[in-house]
Structures are given as C-alpha cells and as structure tokens.
Amino acid sequence: MPRIAIVGSCITRDLWPIQGGGADGLLYVSRTGLPSLLAAPVEGFEPAADFPGDLRRHEHNALVADLQKTALKRLVAFRPTHLIFDFIDERFDLMTVGSAIATRSAELHRSGYLEQPALAAARPLPRLSAACERLWLEAASEFAALVRATPLGRAELILHQARWAHQQRLADGTVVPLSNVELLTGQPVEIAPYNDLLARQEAAFLDLMPPMARIDAAAQRLADTRHHWGLSPFHYVPDYYDEVRRQLAELGLAEAFSDPRAAPSVPAA
C-alpha cells in the first residue's frame, strides 16, 4: 500500500476529500514553508490547551507544528513511498523570532498567539522581498541535501506545479476574471507576482532535488465560486482535481484514490 506524504497546501490535500477518498490516511504538512520547516523552534512559545480563536483542530495542529518545528521529524519517520510537494502555502510572509523563523499565516493571525511574549517581538519578512527569496533558496538546497541523506530519498518525489487562478467559474458556468484578491483579510494583493515567484521556486527546486515527477493541470485551473472552502485563486473547479488525480494514477497512485484505507492513518502535521 502507498504511504503518501504531502508537503504543501489544500490544493493537493483536497484531492482526497473532494473526490471521496479520505485525507485521514495521509501525512499532511501545511501552513509552513521550507525556511520555516528547517528552522529552530520558537523559544518560549506555549500552545493553548484549547484551540484559540476560531481555529479548527487541523489548523491548530499545523500552526503549532510550524512554531515548534515538529513536522520534519515526523515526515522522515513516516517513510513515505510517495512525497508530493506544492508551494501554494509559500505565499505567506515569514517572520524572524530571535534565531527562529516562522510562517506568518492566516491561522497565526487568527490564533492570538502573536500577543504571546515569545512572539511579540517578531519581525516580518515580506514574502516577495529579495531577502525572503534568498532565504528560500538556501532552505531548498538544505532540504534537498536532507532528502538525499534520509529515507525520504527512497520515496517517489512528485512536484504538483500550481499557480493562482486568474479566472473563476460562476455557478451558471460562466467564466469571468477573478478580482479583489486578498492574501489576508484586508490585505489586497496582485496575482502575477506570486505566480512569478512560484515559477522561480519550482525551477530552483527541480534543479536542486533528486529526479522528480511533475503533474500540472493548467488547462483546468479555474477558481470555483462553489468550492467548499470558499472562493480563492487556489480553490479550483472539480475538473482540476480530476485531472490531477488522473496524472497521479499514471504515476502508480490509482489505488490511493480508489481505497481510502490505502495509506495508514496519520494525524495531519
């Protein structure tokens, strides 16, 4: 049976819930990025006993894993047969906290943890800055070395090449431009710079990593106004997920989609 790990975002994880498989059988590492994944833990951070704010369990788990840096150890210990990457979650700004780096995600803002003394002095590092991009490239090189030195190197490596959609499909089937895009509530952004960044990240990652398979459903990349997570440039129409599933099946993962028990149950990181 395949053991599937995802280092990425809901665009890959949603292949299972949307199509009826069951994401509980995956190891899913999200709401982080390569610089944060490889950094030291945030000293003094204390997670709440109950989920703060309006966070769901999986959101809080991902947030705590990013701050405490537990995901990488769990990923290596999982010994996946297939490891899928996508970089959509690399959209968030980073922040430096002493010697640590963390992801300034929407979940972090909603959690209230930024008011903790451990995070009160955090300094933002804008995602689209040259400094952040250099940091990302250094982390990508470090991650590639880690893959070669650990059981991750024996996994089938897959890059899910993704971009933010420029258009949306309405409920009546009409396709119109996607406008008024926000990264965080009240923070409007332009799509093009983030797609340009994704292209540079993917090209660098492919150069640094061992050989990787690639999947790309660009022809079906439309935002869906009826998506169960709401409208977003990376919440796609069902056709998109169908095409990605088809391409993954060609890579030997058809069983993972036909049988929700194909991978062992592992809590999301």
Residue 250 lies in a domain: yes
pLDDT digits (tens, 9 = 90+) for 67-108: 999 999 999 999 999 999 999 999 999 999 999 999 999 999
Residue 192 located in a structural domain: no
Nearest to 159 by CA among 209, 122, 224: 209
Domain contains 115: yes
- Global pTM reads 0.92
- The rounded distance, in Å, linking the Cα atoms of 257 and 21 is 6
Q: pLDDT by residue (tens digit) across 21-36?
A: 444 568 999 999 999 9
The CA-based angle 113-116-118, given to 5 degrees, is: 110
Q: What is the pLDDT of residue 22?
A: 47
pLDDT value of position 26: 86
Is 96 among the domain residues?
A: yes
CB 105 within 8 A of CB 46: no
Number of domains in the chain: 1
pLDDT value of residue 27: 94
Parts of the chain with a pLDDT under 70: 17-25, 258-269
Q: Does 232 map to a domain?
A: no
Residue-level pLDDT at 115? 93
Asked if the structure places residue 175 within a domain, the reply is no
Burial 253-265 (b: 16+ CB within 10 A, else e): beebbeeeebbee
Establish if 229 belongs to a structural domain: no
**Would residue 266 count as lying in a domain?**
no
The whole-number pLDDT of residue 148 equals 98
Domain hosting 86: range is 4-164+211-217+241-258
